[in-house]
Amino acid sequence: MANDYYAVLGVRRDAGTDEIKKAYRRLARELHPDVNPDPQTQDRFKEVTQAYEVLSDAEKRQMYDLGADPFAPAGGAGTGGFGANFPFSDIMDAFFGTGAGGRGPRGRARRGRNATIRVELDLNECAFGATRELVVDTAVVCPTCTGEGSAPGTHPETCDVCGGRGEVSQVTRSFLGQVMTSRPCPACAGHGTVIRRPCPECDGDGRVRTRRTIKVRIPAGVESGTHIQLAGEGEVGPGGGPAGDLFLEIIQRPHQIFERQGNDLHCTVTIPMAAAALGATLSVDSLDGPRDVDIRPGTQSGQVITLYSLGTAQLNESGRGDLLIHVTVETPTKLDADQENLMRQLAKLRGEEAPPGKFAPGQHGFFSRLRDAFNGR
The 10s digit of each residue's pLDDT in 306-360 is: 999 999 999 999 999 999 999 999 988 888 999 889 988 988 888 877 766 554 4
Distance separating alpha carbons of residues 35 and 32, to the nearest angstrom:
5
Instruction: Specify whether the CB–CB gap between 220 and 209 falls below 8 A.
Output: no
- The CA radius of gyration of the chain, in Å to the nearest whole number, is 43
Return the CATH fold of 5-96: Helix Hairpins (1.10.287)
The residues pairing with 218 across neighbouring beta strands, listed in sequence order, are: 130
Residue-wise DSSP of 285-349 = --TTS-EEEEE-TT--TT-EEEETT-SPBPTTSS-B--EEEEEEEEPPS---HHHHHHHHHHHHH
pLDDT at 62: 84
Domain ranges of the chain: 5-96, 104-152+202-254, 157-194, 259-330, 337-375
Distance separating alpha carbons of residues 312 and 218, to the nearest angstrom:
14
pLDDT at 45: 83
pLDDT at 367: 44
pLDDT at 97: 40
Fold equal for 5-96 and 104-152+202-254: no
Which stretches of the chain drop beneath a pLDDT of 70? 1-2, 33-36, 72-104, 171-180, 355-377
Q: If DSSP codes are grouped into helix, strand and coil, which group holds residue 55?
A: helix
Distance separating alpha carbons of residues 85 and 76, to the nearest angstrom:
10
Looking at the domain covering 259-330, what would its CATH class be? mainly beta
Average pLDDT for the chain: 82
- Report whether CATH 3.40.920.10 matches the domain 104-152+202-254: no
Instruction: State the CB neighbour count (10 A cutoff) for residue 257.
Output: 14
Instruction: Specify whether the CB–CB gap between 205 and 195 falls below 8 A.
Output: no
